[in-house]
Amino acid sequence: AQSVAQPEDQVNVAEGNPLTVKCTYSVSGNPYLFWYVQYPNRGLQFLLKYITGDNLVKGSYGFEAEFNKSQTSFHLKKPSALVSDSALYFCAVRVPGSSNTGKLIFGQGTTLQVKP
């Protein structure tokens, strides 16, 4: 079965410190990888995606993600966390193929708590 895992339910980091939110995937073929963020009572906001090319992808609000094919991972990173980054983060994959049209497979989400 195709799946995405976010091994940490919650990540705590002090403001100004670097942050990492982990994501690993288990899918067939060569998937496309996405990160979304969700603030309370809001929908999902797109941060970045990996399609091909450079393994380090830069996205919105200073976030970046590192794709590692051998480890099937796509960890989200930010050099210096802000209190306003506190939210729920989702990793997602999209597998090419007609049977997967329009379908993202999501991890269970990681709550990021940035403390002042």
Partner 1 sequence: KAGVTQTPRYLIKTRGQQVTLSCSPISGHRSVSWYQQTPGQGLQFLFEYFSETQRNKGNFPGRFSGRQFSNSRSEMNVSTLELGDSALYLCASTSFGLAASDTQYFGPGTRLTVL
Binding site for partner 1 (CB under 8 A): 31-32, 34, 36, 41-46, 49, 51, 90, 92, 94-97, 99-109
Looking at beta carbons only, is 15 or 88 nearer to partner 1?
88
Looking at beta carbons only, is 41 or 70 nearer to partner 1?
41
DSSP-based three-state secondary structure for 67: strand
Looking at beta carbons only, is 28 or 116 nearer to partner 1?
28
Could you tell me which of 62, 102, 105, 98 has the C-alpha nearest to residue 82?
Answer: 62
Least CB distance to partner 1 at residue 92 (A): 8
Least CB distance to partner 1 at residue 116 (A): 28
Looking at beta carbons only, is 85 or 107 nearer to partner 1?
107
Q: What kind and span of H or E run contains 13?
A: strand 10-14
Strand bridging mode 110-115 / 10-14: parallel
**Cα separation, 89 vs 95, whole angstroms:** 20
Least CB distance to partner 1 at residue 78 (A): 20
Quote the Cα angle for 61-65-107, to 5°: 100
Least CB distance to partner 1 at residue 40 (A): 11
